[in-house]
Amino acid sequence: MNDFDVLILCADAAGTADNTVGYPVGQTHAVLVFLREPAGASPNFEKAAAELGRRGWSDINISEAAPVSVASLDSVHPQARAAYHDALNDGFAALVFSEPITQADLTNR
């Protein structure tokens, strides 16, 4: 039995001047957050948002979360497997999608 699970959280967030990928300030992007938690723990949305905030993101909305297995990630995103391992080792990883989310996208949820 593992001592930790990696949870995947679906989010969107707006870049600040300090965002680590250089997106324009205020531009909103979809984000997959990978968060290491004790096995069986509930998703810690506050921890995920705080980690994103430290990396230059604001206006963070987390819509859902679930445990994820590394084997299920091949169909998600080419870098998802690496993000999973980063989260397992470091406690946190995030994949920020390059295409911005428009206000219309946010309104039509």
Count the helix, strand and coil residues of the chain and give each as a percent rounded to the nearest 5.
30, 40, 30
Mean pLDDT of 26-42: 95
The pairing of beta strand 57-67 with beta strand 4-15? antiparallel
pLDDT band at 104 (very low <50, low <70, confident <90, very high): confident
Q: Is 32 helix (H, G, I), strand (E, B) or coil?
A: strand
CA distance 103 to 32: 19
CA distance 57 to 19: 6
Query: Which has the higher per-residue pLDDT, 84 or 1?
Result: 84
Read off the pLDDT of residues 42-95 as tens digits, 9 standing for 90 and up: 999 999 999 999 999 999 999 999 999 888 887 777 889 999 999 999 999 999
User: Apex CA 98: angle with CA 74 and CA 85, to 5°?
Assistant: 35
